[in-house]
Amino acid sequence: MPAAVSIHGQWSTRLAFVLAATGSAVGLGNVWRFPYIVGDNGGGAFVLVYLLCILMIGLPIMMAEILLGRLGRQSPINTMLTVSRAEGLSRGWGLMGWIGVLAGFLILSFYSVIAGWALAYVFKAGSGGFTGLDAEGSSEMFGAMLANPEALLAWHTIFMVMTAMVVARGVRSGLERAVTILMPALVVLLVILVGYAMAHGDFLGGLAFLLRPDFSALSANAVLLAMGQAFFTLSLGMGAIMVYGSYLSSEASIARASAAVVASDTLVALLAGLAIFPILLAAGLSPGQGPGLIFVTLPLAFAEMPLGLFFGTLFFVLLVFAAWTSAISLIEPAVAFLVENLGLSRVFATTLVAMLAWLLGIAALLSLNVWSGFTLFDKGVLDLLDYVTANILLPLGGFLIAIFVGWRMSQSSVMNELRLRNMRAFRVWFFLVRYLAPTAIVVVFLRAVGVI
């Protein structure tokens, strides 16, 4: 087995790991996707199912992925090769690491494009672009941005450079320093926006929409959607949590660290709902607006509210911070692999991965305008990258993690690394990893590909 500390460094404290892993998990999925799928699926009942799925699927898989990372102390690819060898298993399990690294790289390429939209809207809001906005004007503003490849390229480039600058500085000086600033700032911004929603929005209405269960609005499809969101929101199956786990001290409790990350991620998603829904309801707008909620509907609400331009700017700064902390975790697994296997400096490896992801991102952004007529499997480049990663690579990665830890590793190895003192708690976790989590992932996968 490798040394007790990764060659890339180690988090200085358990809190640093929790902030980094939470930063990886907290992204556009929490602040953008979670509010609109809650809005589309009846509010509180969906939230309740989502929380159950987080506890029964997300938390067990996260613990398993961190366990593997800390055992291997390397990039996901080399970690899986090392742990497989130590367990007397086939080198073919190294494929699991490749799936995670590939998924993170592909997601980064188009994630940077979407994060660029948030960057653009920071300046649109700050320069008074929301003033006097109506529904038609908001749709036109968003559409005009997507139709402008030069502007999209500029924002995509800026965001990718921001990401590379953090990762190139290493674990302590780059990743840790960034998340210890960005994550507290993100939470402070969210709390300020929730306070604004309480003062100027329909806060009681938003609270009721978010937390009052309406089981009549809970369809079988909504339950499957909650399962999928619970899995994907925690950045599982893409190598990020595994490589962050490789930098975790041997003294830290995996169970406590994982629980802190899951709780923090869920809290941010709920706070985002409490910030967004009251503002929409006060402006007479429906929370169930789909993907356009953040970039089309919310600017309308800010346009009509007191101090809307200021708080609208703050909201999109928050969105950029959330995307930034996720992006640095997406690039890290590939960078770690290049440093380990090719002997590249961290700066050169980061530049290389960022450049390749940036180039693929150009194809993604052009699919929104100049190449809009070009499709593969009836999808544009951005939609295809999103589909392949979210519906194939991530479920496959998460499924293989559950199978490897639950069925292929020796139970003694798992117990020794997890170090759960309560045997009953271990048995519950092991049952969830062995049976419930992989079954749920298969169901979500079959739904995603249209089989059920």
Instruction: Give 305-352 pLDDT, tens digit per residue.
Output: 888 889 999 999 989 999 999 999 999 999 999 999 999 999 999 999
Q: What is the number of alpha carbons within 13 Å of residue 295 lying toward its C-beta?
A: 22
Q: Poorest-confidence range of 153-157, 184-188, 208-212, 394-398?
A: 208-212
What are the tokens at 124? 């649109």
Looking at residues 249-271, what average pLDDT do you find?
92
Domain boundaries, the chain: 14-448
User: What does the mean pLDDT of the chain come to?
Assistant: 90
Confidence of residue 363 (pLDDT cuts 50, 70, 90): very high
Quote the pLDDT of residue 155: 98
Please count the other Cβ atoms lying within 10 Å of the Cβ belonging to residue 423: 9
Under 8 Å CB-to-CB from 281, ≥6 apart: which residues? 201, 202, 205, 206, 209, 287
What's the fold here for domain 14-448? Answer: Amino acid/polyamine transporter I (1.20.1740)
Q: What is this structure's pTM? A: 0.92
Q: What are phi and psi of 295, to 5 degrees?
A: -95, -15
What does DSSP assign to residue 376?
B
pLDDT at 290 over 70: no
Residues 337, 101: Cα–Cα separation, whole Å: 9
pLDDT tens per residue, range 391-425? 888 889 999 999 999 999 999 999 999 988 889 99
